[in-house]
Amino acid sequence: MSRTLKIIIILATYVALSVLTVYLFPRYNTAFNYHFELGKPWGYDLMTAEFDFPIYKTDAQITREQQEALRNITPCYIKTRNLPEGVLVISLEEHDRLVDEGYRRVSIRTARHAVVTLPVSDLLTPKTAYERLGESFEPNVIADSIANANLHKNAVESVSQTFGLVQSGERIIDRGEIVTAQTYQILTSLARAYSEKNITRQQTIYVQIGYLGLIALLITLFVLYLVIIKHNLFVQLRATWFFCLLMAIFIATPFLILRFTTDETLLYLVPFAWLGILTSVFYDSRTALVLQVITLLIVSMATPSPFTFLFTQIIASIVVIYSLRKMTQRAHLAHTALLVGLTYAFVYTALTLTTTGTYTHLQPRVYMFIMANIVLIVCAYGVIYLFERVFGLVSDVTLIELSNINSDLMHRFAEEAPGTFQHTLQVSNLATEAAKKIEANALLVRTGALYHDIGKLMAPQNFTENQQDGDNPLSRMSNTEAARTVIEHVSNGLALAAKHHLPQIIRSFIASHHGTSLTRYFYNSEVNAHPGEKIDESLFRYPGPKPTTKETAILMMADAVEARSRSLKEYTEQSIAEMVNQMIDAQIQDGQFAETPLSFSDVEAIREVFTTKLIAIHHQRIAYPTIKNQ
């Protein structure tokens, strides 16, 4: 794929993310997009009424007034038959219901359609009729369900939904003023009035354009960060899809919650910490913080109280990034989850107390949501594993597991190719120290170095470091055949890596640790054997690819330097320094590091580390004296 096409796909992915975000945005149905909370300051300029609108009663007020209206009606009953002495008998259940609901009088319609109204106390139950008259009677008064339903309906409908009017131009609230219960009711009524004003299609389009502009601006800021600060990530399709998927998940989830409810406390259930955790684990802390802040800014545009949301979530994000700079143990994730939970609880409590002046507004369920969030953060360990498989990424925990030299593969390596295994350990140590010096990923280099020569397991006897009796099978081959045999350890290593399901990033160390360099010994031998003839270099070159990262470049240098150091005739500071410079210069002249981001200062630092470490390894030992014969 050409670089131009790759850039087009990357930019198109970010544009698609912007469009998706605008499509999911939950607030297009009203022109009233102000956020306010009871007991908290009004965060906007002076608000005045643009038109007349009624002040709506709260649901609690309406329910209370409806219940009062229902208590004031007179229930209707029908007299089914006459009893001696004009006795009116009602069922015990119906009598108790009238008493419980507070009715004092009832209307009774007789067979001649005459209606009489009398106190509830005049009605007898079968039991009280027997006690008073000494005779048992069945009820002769039953409820008129049709008439009572109409009475209930009229009583409910008689309660007004409003209790006042705000006139056009009337002052409602100004910036910094506390939203009191009365002001809250007026603002809620204004929001309802706006929602009932059927926003036009043209207005909806303008609102969408406005949101698209803001969202595109924020996403563009993230893209610019990648272009300027992390260009190597910007040009990676895998990184682009990783970032866009994370942003899409943590924008869509709160947007869908806010689409169906205005209860902002439910957002405490959303594990926004996953953004920082996943990005820190697979990339770096700086990118994690930028990605998380951009995502939170987008989400805040739809939240009822953006300041509270941003203040809480950004502080939690900082805690995540600070506490999880490196995740090398599972316990680190639990530690981060606990810190984030405590941060949420502390900030929520403090903000509520400062804005309301009372603890009564603290909601116990918020603390339950925070506890659930802690559990979800701990579950990120499983999500890390999923992202490793989907995107071919590797976490520090996985690298540590892979670098365990007691694993079955490493144990086999040490048993069947002991010389190569010892070479591998030395290369790993050299490369790790060099990576630390230039601030590359030391853990990745260490792990990649352990597997770079794993292909020699397929035929360990073909490599001098494993030959104990001096017999070298390559000496019985032609130079071309010997070169091909040596070169095959790269493809064999990739085959073993695939068989043992090693991550792609580890396979890249195997594939590139010789780059496209020559098998110099066999090439030179072939040239000397055929003087004046043109030798096909491709038969003696490794297939590549060349190193493309600092880490794979460091391994290539360390591998060559360590192998060459074993053939030095004498180990002095000068001979070791000359050897290191010679090997690295040859690789540079061969163009092996042309595709890496190594700087001149990086290369000089690597030379210095290799020289110092090899001098320390091969320093002159003191000869121990023996006891002379007495």
420 DSSP 8-state letter: H
User: Alpha carbon 490 to chain centroid distance?
Assistant: 37
Residues with Cβ within 8 Å of 602's Cβ and at least 6 positions away in sequence, in order, are 438, 550
pLDDT tens digits for range 332-366: 888 889 999 999 999 999 988 887 777 877 888 89
From 25-29, 78-82, 237-241, 303-307, the region with the lowest mean pLDDT = 25-29
| Alpha-carbon separation of residue 503 from 446, 481, 543 (angstroms) | 14, 31, 20
Structure tokens at 413: 């390596």
Question: Which stretches of 229-284 are DSSP H helices?
Answer: 231-234, 237-260, 273-282
Average pLDDT rounded to a whole number, residues 222-237: 91
Closest by Cα among 209, 219, 193, 176 to 40? 176
pLDDT digits 0-9 by tens, 35-66? 777 777 887 778 888 888 899 888 888 888 98
Reported as a single tens digit per residue, the pLDDT across 127-185 is 888 888 888 888 988 999 898 899 999 999 998 888 889 998 899 998 888 888 889 89
Higher pLDDT, 624 or 521: 521
- CA 66 to chain centroid: 48
Cα–Cα distances (Å) from 500 to 33, 289, 407, 493, in that order, read 56, 35, 11, 11
Over residues 468-502, the pLDDT tens digits come to 777 888 888 999 999 999 999 999 999 999 999 89
For the chain, percent of residues with pLDDT exceeding 70 = 94
Its CATH class, for the domain covering 396-617, is mainly alpha
Residue 225 has pLDDT above 60, yes or no: yes
Mean pLDDT of the residues in the chain: 88
Using pLDDT thresholds of 50, 70 and 90, give the confidence band for residue 450: very high
- Answer yes or no: is pLDDT of 618 > 80: no
Tens of pLDDT, residue by residue over 383-423, are 888 888 888 888 888 888 888 888 899 999 999 999 999 99
> Per-domain residue ranges for the chain?
3-26+202-384, 63-157, 396-617
Predicted local distance difference test score (pLDDT) of residue 343: 94
- pTM of the complete model: 0.67
Neighbours of 20 (CB within 10 A): 17
What pLDDT was estimated at residue 619?
Answer: 64
